[in-house]
Structure 1
């Protein structure tokens, strides 16, 4: 039955994609982030859904090429384009397992390439709202389900994601769930009905409960950091503060002793085997990046060959468990610079949008969405310090949203300035004060 439902939804998506490429973008995001086919048990489980929707999208781009927008050239998109090219350099030059590189490279390449392609399609507020909604549904499904499971089980078992996806691991799912909370907050701020706002509050609480129930230490740190930034960036700070100060501690109180013991290992990391293994992997990545400067060892550095050459303790070859050391080990110092630079420039671009719309009530929605994307990036920067999620889709979609928001606001500000010039309120030689770019 699930297979037929997924097939039916997919056929509708293909039909809609040929009518409007935006539906192809939404379908790609849904398939890539949620992996709904992994919830089925028959033919749908392993069918190449993403490949088919991508082909349909590219065909639709050709059919509707007159409706595409100009590619936005700014610091974010330029760094992203260079990053896409750079991730193919180290695997070619210094891979320890060349025959295994293609699988990992193709997966990362497809994620990043589709973000660039989406920049040609996503162009309106409606498009952004649909994209946010699809992201919330895709991750929120597991977050809400996991939150209910955590509450009913008293937090005695961990929450896991769909197999074969970026969020299969309990730690990765927890971070994704936490990063979705600001997007739910954005939808709540835009909601016009009380039941919608209340539903959003419930969804946020259940997502946080799910993340706590995952027993992920990285997610715990991300919750604490992100809650503060979400309060700082939000409108109506008092109601949000009450939710965080009252509801969140209650979630922690009802967690079992096993959760408390695991969180306490943050303070005693030097006695925790998992933490020591990660530190060993970080040192390996650092030594490798120094030796191969400015390149890295490719996507397959988490293996015996690399650890035998660079690790302080070659007996425990583990993945980096850190987006920073993963980027450093796989793609060198240049790769780390590009990776961090993308999100740093995205933050700056979002700040420019927030500043430009500060005195414009009709663009409050753009200010809200920019701020919540910043909060999501804070969650990724904090929780990602302990997870190998360099190529995870969600943070790159936050980048996409911020770039499109900047373009929408820039067009609006330019139109306002032009109207002011034509009405004589502003001299013709005075340029628009809003700077599109970072």
Structure 2
């Protein structure tokens, strides 16, 4: 039944996508972020829905005349250079014969990210993308929060199989990043019951993150909560909600959760933490040895660790977006990766400044603030996770840069309207000149 339902939904989106590539992009985002086919058990589980959606979307780009405008900004240029550089480092990869599956997956995600920037260009498109991300990840956040409450926090919350957020830690950071987007919709939605539902979803996502038993998520949720409060226009109600909710959830969790969180202070005795430090040391040593190109994708094996790791036999995943990029793509790759985040933040600050005090653009002001909070959650939580290629941060770039382009277009349109309404200088033709009589003379 699930297989049939998912297939029918995908077919309906494909029919719409043929005429409108923006709908195809939203379908792609839904499939790639949520992985709905992984919720089925039959033929849909391994069916290439994402590839089919991408193919129809690209075909629609060719045959339709929908408006397309790519935002050329420092953030998007940095993203394009980052994609280019990852292809260069792949040519010099240490394990060149092993990189194709991950390289192919990353390139597909980032290519469709660039397509999304080209076809999503209206206020409605922007809001649809936010809703798509909220539905795609909110499903797991709400479900995980309800599961944590129902089981007394006794079990770990996991994500969909075969996705970037399959691991409990990754799902936790994803749901924390989603909370600011839920807050944006809650602040701008007109329907009272939808707003109330979004508040409940925010709370359950927070519970789900805590129920993941992720120490990185705990750090992320603390930093995200602080910035969410500072960026929110209605600080008092949000502060009251946090004061009530967070202590309640922490006290609700069992003793083993508290024991797990306490290992943050005693990381020297924790094998997982020591493994991460060893992986970070390996990435640093590799980057120093190959500063421009790093080691390429798929460097976490015995041979690479034997050559570069402080403890050669302790093979571990990167568990940090920063050391992951540094080890795989060198210092140049890390610089470009950080530049994407920095310039995206700057775009958000520009949007906030340009829309301040403008009621018709209040939605953009709120969105930029909340997207910056999501960036904070990613920058802190993913500092301990291998999530450098996770879709959501790149869709934050899409939302921010498309919103910036939309506002610039509005400003240009307003300038043209003002210019057309401004009266020009009066021109007096020679025939219309009047003769001014001298004193004592008359015109008769």
TM range (shorter): over 0.9
Structure 1: gaps spanning 5 or more residues: 428-438
Aligned-partner Cα distance in 1 for 2:159–2:53: 22
Q: Is the 8 A contact 2:69 2:119 kept in 1?
A: no
Aligned residue in 2 for 1:369: 367
Q: Is the 8 A contact 1:175 1:379 kept in 2?
A: yes
The counterpart of 1:181, out of the listed 154, 174, 179, is 179
Aligned residue in 2 for 1:59: 59
Q: Are 1:223 and 2:221 matched, yes or no?
A: yes
SS at match of 1:120: helix
Aligned residue in 2 for 1:128: 126
Aligned-partner Cα distance in 1 for 2:242–2:317: 34
Deviates more, 1:379-388 or 1:406-415: 406-415
Q: 1:424: how far off?
A: 3.7
Structure 2: gaps spanning 5 or more residues: 426-444
The superposition leaves residues 17-55 of structure 1 with CA deviations (integer Å, 9 ceiling, x where unpaired) of 012111110110000000000000000000000000000
Aligned-partner Cα distance in 2 for 1:171–1:59: 37
Q: Are 1:83 and 2:82 matched, yes or no?
A: yes
| Higher Rg | 2
The counterpart of 2:102, out of the listed 93, 101, 104, is 104
SS at match of 1:67: coil
Aligned-partner Cα distance in 1 for 2:413–2:237: 36
Aligned residue in 2 for 1:278: 276
SS at match of 1:408: helix
Q: Where has structure 1 moved over 4 Å in runs of 4 or more? A: none
Q: Map of 1:39-438 to 2, 5 A cutoff? A: 39-64=39-64, 66-93=65-92, 95-424=93-422
Aligned-partner Cα distance in 1 for 2:391–2:423: 45
Aligned residue in 2 for 1:430: none
Cα distance change on mapping 1:312 and 1:7 into 2, 3 Å: same
Question: What TM-score results when the alignment is normalised by the length of structure 2?
Answer: 0.94
Aligned-partner Cα distance in 2 for 1:163–1:176: 15
SS at match of 2:119: coil
SS at match of 1:157: coil
Aligned-partner Cα distance in 2 for 1:153–1:410: 50
Q: 1:319: how far off?
A: 1.0
Aligned residue in 1 for 2:7: 7
Aligned residue in 2 for 1:21: 21
Aligned-partner Cα distance in 2 for 1:144–1:220: 18
Q: 1:426: how far off?
A: 12
Q: CA RMSD in A?
A: 1.3
Question: What TM-score results when the alignment is normalised by the length of structure 1?
Answer: 0.95
Q: Is the 8 A contact 2:144 2:204 kept in 1?
A: yes
The superposition leaves residues 362-393 of structure 1 with CA deviations (integer Å, 9 ceiling, x where unpaired) of 10000011111111110000001000000000
Q: 1:111: how far off?
A: 0.8
Aligned-partner Cα distance in 1 for 2:342–2:335: 10
Cα distance change on mapping 1:43 and 1:294 into 2, 3 Å: same
SS at match of 1:41: coil
Aligned residue in 1 for 2:431: none
Q: Is the 8 A contact 2:176 2:205 kept in 1?
A: yes
Q: Is the 8 A contact 1:420 1:426 kept in 2?
A: no
SS at match of 2:293: coil
Q: Are 1:37 and 2:37 matched, yes or no?
A: yes
Aligned-partner Cα distance in 2 for 1:423–1:58: 41
Aligned-partner Cα distance in 1 for 2:72–2:37: 35
Aligned-partner Cα distance in 1 for 2:194–2:28: 27
The superposition leaves residues 169-208 of structure 1 with CA deviations (integer Å, 9 ceiling, x where unpaired) of 0000001111111111111011112211111110000000
